[in-house]
Amino acid sequence: MTRIVLLQLAAALVVALIAGLVSGISAGISALLGGLCCAIPNSLFALRLNMSVKKPGGVNPMSFFVGEFIKIGSTIALMMAVVWLYRDLNWVAFIAGIVVILKSYFILLFRYKL
């Protein structure tokens, strides 16, 4: 799980660099913020899941669903905060950062052995 989270953070940096080089610093920051809006909740969910696996009772399925609900809620909250607080938001770069992180998860699952 750690490898996936680190690769998602690296993907956020790569998409931010590409957007920054193509469309300027505002687009790079927007893409980075979009990527981080998805990568940070994913990393917190992975940490929570990893901690629940190590508990003596094992994994509770309800804990997984609660964690997923919290992850989705925090992702939406972070997106709303970025839209509200960052005035120079480049929407195309912001959405590109989100899409790259969301799709990188599936690609990384099939590419690497965890």
**Alpha-carbon distance 86 to 36, whole Å?**
14
Mean pLDDT of 42-57: 82
Q: How confident is the model at residue 62 (pLDDT cuts 50, 70, 90)?
A: confident
What would the pLDDT profile of 14-23 be if each residue is shown by its tens digit?
A: 999 999 999 9
Query: pTM (2 decimals)?
Result: 0.85
Minimal CA–CA distance to 100: which of 23, 18, 44?
18
* Domain ranges across the chain: 2-111
What would the pLDDT profile of 66-81 be if each residue is shown by its tens digit?
A: 889 999 999 999 999 9
In angstroms, the Cα distances linking 1 to 44, 47, 100, 114 are: 11, 9, 18, 7
SS3 56: coil
Q: Who has greater pLDDT, 94 or 114? A: 94
- In which residue are the tokens 């839209």 written? 83
**Alpha-carbon distance 78 to 67, whole Å?**
16
DSSP-derived secondary structure letter, 87: T
Residue 47 burial (CB < 10 Å; 0-12/13-18/19+)? middle
